[in-house]
Amino acid sequence: MARRVVSKKSAQKRGLTAEAYLLLLHAVLWFFSSKAGRRCFLMSFCLAGLVFFSYDDNLQKLFGCCETAIYSATQRLGFTLKDVTVLGRYRLQQSDILDAINVRAGSPIFECDVRTMKTKLERLAWVKQASVCRNLCGRLHIYITERQPIAVYHDKNQFVLVDQDGEQIQAPIDACFRGLPVLSGRNACTNAPAILKSINRFKNIRGRLAAMAFIQGRRWDLKLSNSVEVKLPDHGIEKALYVLSVLIDAGKVSSGDIMKVDLRIDGKVIFVLSKSGQEYFSRIVCARKI
């Protein structure tokens, strides 16, 4: 059997190396057993962690990994999305809602960010206000308050719907909105809700209203369905509308001989006649003189 021969010099060298390792180990243990050593180690550990998390978004990656692990665990436990209910949808398309919330059946229910969904839903043209809530049964409930169009704004060959708050609705104008009055003039959208609220109290005026023009940011001109133009005053609109309602019921505005009705002067009604109306009025005056 072969016998390994080790020289005395190499043996002494190996022994010194082992003793050096033992001395180094004892020094490290003594250092970390002391109070200063523990503090130094803790500071080094915190500094290394700070450098690690501040480099290349490592903290966000760590949180993302933890979040994904939690979602996966809850998904295996059965907390998944099973159904979506929507209340308050009339004109809004169902596909627009699904595109906004961007969820799918079977996904973790806790992964549904209701705040982000609410923000995206309220960016849709028809949505005035939205609320989103979820429950542990796997259902997502969406409540929507839609904008109510009250008029159509006309500006530079463009027609835009206007809601009850004076805001423009960037949505296609369907045939069902053709009966709405057409607005024109600067700042007409923001001032239209107040005047329409007053007009709605007089059904005979509202039923004949075709267009409205906001003049110099002060007052309104109304155009009825029979092309008669009505000039309203700056103040006392309710009284002027009442006078107009009485004239309509009396048949004074339905005649084709009348072009304009001026109600800007309190206590007076000024009629502007057409050419045929002026001729008819002249014949009556001449006959009375004779």
What type of residue sits at position 84? V
Share of the chain above pLDDT 70, in %: 67
pLDDT at site 285: 41
Q: Which two tokens stand for residue 207?
A: 């039923």
Q: Name the percent of the chain lying above pLDDT 90.
A: 39
pLDDT for position 1? 43
* Tens digits of residue pLDDT in 95-136: 899 888 888 777 777 777 889 999 999 999 999 999 998 887
pLDDT value at residue 281: 47
d(CA 253, CA 240): 14
First-to-last alpha carbon distance for the chain, in angstroms, is 161
pTM of the model: 0.67
Q: Read off the pLDDT of residues 199-211 as tens digits, 9 standing for 90 and up.
A: 999 999 999 999 9
Phi, psi at residue 196, to the nearest 5°?
Answer: -70, -30
Cβ count near 166 (within 10 Å): 17
**CATH numbers and ranges of domains, the chain:** 76-146 (3.10.20.310), 149-289 (3.40.50.11690)
CA–CA separation, 114 vs 132, rounded Å? Answer: 6
Pairing of the two strands 158-163 and 182-184: unpaired
How far is the C-alpha of 152 from the C-alpha of 211, rounded, in Å? 9
